[in-house]
Chains A and B, each alone.
Chain A
Amino acid sequence: MSLLAVDDLSVSIGMVPLLDRVSFSLDRGEVLGLVGESGSGKSLTAMTLMGLLPLIGGRITAGRVRFDGIDLTTLPEPAYRDLRGQRIALISQNPMTSLDPILTVGAQIDQASRLHAGLSAAAARARSLDLMHQLRIPEAVAIHGQYPHQLSGGMKQRIVIAMALAGDPDLIIADEPTTALDVTIQAQIIQILCDLVAERGLALLLITHDMGVVAQACHRVSVLYAGRGAETGPVHDIFARPRHPYTKALIGCIPREGQAPGTLVGIPGMVPTAFAYPKGCRYHPRCTAAAPDCRTEVPAGSIQGVGGSIVFCHHPLEVGHV
């Protein structure tokens, strides 16, 4: 059984349904990319898995989330708090604002160890320094005593990663961990995360809007569009044979070597807001292959090909049609 299994998860904030029957699963030692444009529900999925929906007035309306045999949808808050940071850790989008600005970064890593491993102040500090060494942070002792504003963005993100590792979690949810960083730092941070998965055998849910990152780091990918799943499957299969027109369009957005200037493509139109989701397949207004049934019928998932990809499309692209 998978470490994390999300089945037909639906989430609303207030009266507005935002996630609609989203499913994916993730195992130890595996990196799953959760991909989509802004507004597709990626970050909301992260919040749901962290059990922090009440903070933004959200709730799970249907579906199940099982983590290591525990049903997270019915887990009471005190029990959830024991999971948070200790078994499921979050690496947030913006390291600039994720750290408490008036505490030293060292104290913030120490805090996680003391909270989850019950370590003394001295032991927690030693552990933090050890984690900082593992994350290739130079002069860990000096940095341990510095404040967030004194560090660069990449360094802060390493601190956030160290904080996430301090509880020795089984699952790390990284919500666009490189979006706020310089391009030169992005690859380093992704590499660090991939190494952690390989070395520690933890599961990584990598939320991103960048198909390039997915190709580089993930084993499997799940594409979300407007709060619904579009396509899920192994990365090599999906990149070689995208069956959902949206997936294909996303892959088409990756800049390629030797591409002529001015030929960079995007996807015309925008992700609809939750107040104005179109009927039928939510992608149909932007889809180049939309047929009449796409406007009225919600597509069900169908298993395609040998890789076991699941595609939510009435007219999946033919295999080999790249």
Chain B
Amino acid sequence: MFGYFIRRLLLLIPVFLVMSAVVFAIVHLVPGDPIDNMLQIGSSPERRAELTAKFGLDRPLVVQYGVWLDRVFHGDLGDAIILKQPVVSLILANLPHSLALGGLALAFSASVGIAIGALATFFRDSWFDRSVMTIILMGATVPNFWLGLLMILVFAVELGWFPVSGARSADALVLPVLTVGLGGVALIARVTRAAMLETARQDFVFMLHAKGLSKRQIYLGHVLRHALLPVVTILGLKIGWVVGGAVTIEYVFARPGLGSLLISALNQRDYPIIQGCLLMLGIAVMLGTLVGDLAQAAMDPRIRDGMR
């Protein structure tokens, strides 16, 4: 397990380099220029050149990347061009909101999704299986910004149970968590069910029946355990989503968070913030994948022994 851990960790280095280079380069492919936004109409070309030089935007891209990467390793993501604050402090101010929303949404999707998937498999082809899986399919196809608006309309405006927007109190989290989490519930439930049905067809499950175990013992003690292997991988990938994937939902509920920060920075072409946010998301996805892989290795001895 330790050797596997080290191998997986070393693999992150090239992944990080490629990811950071893409993050750095991608904003330069976006049309628009922050200097244009800063200049007053009718400013002289000299003023423009002066500002470009001040922010180092006149240097070759490779040099800009090197300088940027060096700063990143020193915990400096630069200063926001429009907001004129250190990007690190902007990210740190917004990150807890995103973590709370994403983390709770992930926990909600995992627990409810696995439970529904397992129950649907156990009562396969019953009315429960059919109706729940149909509802879930519908839930998965509804765009979540629309679901968010619907939630606001019903539970906040009509019923008045929760705040419409903002992040001033804990109950303001309920509707965004449900909105983000429901899509995850649908995905996890479907993956759990499919994986359990596939496992249930294997020879060793037949042998467990022959051994005299009850269906419940077989499904909960063995089949679900196997089904969790793909589920854990998906949950690992979704950790990236914990950090900033809920971009549109933060916008719909007017919540602070990395998603909101990223969207406003994109509108203003505020390169350092965009880079900083994308880098955070990239790192989150990398770490999420790592956590998913390690969890799989902890659960499956064949992965630890390099058989898969």
Contacts and interface: CB of A to CB of B under 8 A. Distances in A.
Contacts of A150: 301, 305
A109 to B, nearest CB: 10
Contacts of B202: 97
B305 A149 contact: yes
The 4 A-B residue pairs whose C-beta atoms are closest, nearest first, are: A85-B212, A84-B212, A97-B203, A90-B210
B305 A102 contact: no
A85 B211 contact: yes
Given A97-B202, A147-B301, A52 B209 contact: yes
Given A101-B302, A102-B301, A85 B210 contact: yes
A310 interface: no
Contacts of B206: 52, 55, 92
A115 interface: yes
A81 interface: yes
Contact of B213 (A55, A89, A102, A115): A115
B261 to A, nearest CB: 42
A150 B172 CA distance: 52
Contacts of A106: none
Given A102-B226, A102-B302, A147-B301, A112 B204 contact: no
12 contacts: A55-B209, A81-B212, A83-B212, A89-B211, A97-B202, A101-B300, A101-B301, A102-B225, A102-B226, A103-B222, A147-B301, A163-B211
B107 interface: no
B212 A100 contact: no
A268 to B, nearest CB: 32
Given A149-B302, A149-B305, 16 more contacts: A50-B209, A81-B212, A84-B211, A85-B210, A85-B211, A85-B213, A89-B211, A92-B207, A102-B299, A102-B300, A112-B212, A115-B212, A115-B213, A149-B301, A163-B211, A167-B212
Interface string A165-178: 00100000000000
A98 B204 contact: yes
Interface of A: 50, 52, 55, 81-86, 89-90, 92, 94, 97-103, 111-112, 115-116, 147, 149-150, 160, 163, 167
Contact of A99 (B207, B214, B299, B300): B207
B11 interface: no
A99 B301 CA distance: 13
Contacts of A100: 204, 208, 222
A103 B221 CA distance: 11
Interface in B221-243: 222, 225-226
Contacts of A82: 212
A81 B222 CA distance: 18
Nearest to A147: B301
A20 B11 CA distance: 61
B204 to A, nearest CB: 5
A50 B210 contact: yes
Given A101-B302, A149-B305, A86 B222 contact: no
B307 interface: yes
Given A147-B302, A149-B305, A98 B203 contact: yes
Nearest to B212: A85
A149 to B, nearest CB: 5
Interface residues of B, number: 21
A309 to B, nearest CB: 31
Contacts of A102: 225-226, 299-302
Contacts of B210: 50, 52, 84-85, 89-90, 92
Contacts of A81: 212, 214
A156 to B, nearest CB: 11
Contacts of A149: 301-302, 305, 307
Nearest to A175: B210
Contacts of A94: 203
A167 B212 CA distance: 10
A92 B203 contact: yes
Contacts of A147: 301-302, 305
A98 B202 CA distance: 8
A81 B214 CA distance: 7
Q: Determine which residue in B202, B300, B301 has the highest number of CB atoms from chain A within 10 A of its CB, and name it.
A: B301
A177 to B, nearest CB: 13
A163 B212 CA distance: 11
Nearest to B303: A102
A80 to B, nearest CB: 9
B21 to A, nearest CB: 38
Contacts of A111: 211, 213
Contacts of B299: 102
A81 B212 CA distance: 5
B203 A116 contact: no
Interface in B270-308: 299-302, 305, 307
Interface string B182-211: 000000000000000000001110111111
B204 A101 contact: yes
A204 to B, nearest CB: 16
Nearest to A99: B204
Contact of B212 (A86, A92, A99): A86
Contacts of A90: 207, 210
Interface in B214-272: 214, 222, 225-226
Contacts of A52: 206, 209-210
Q: Determine which residue in B204, B226, B299, B307 has the highest number of CB atoms from chain A within 10 A of its CB, and name it.
A: B204
Interface string B119-161: 0000000000000000000000000000000000000000000
Contacts of A163: 211
A305 B203 CA distance: 42
B221 to A, nearest CB: 9
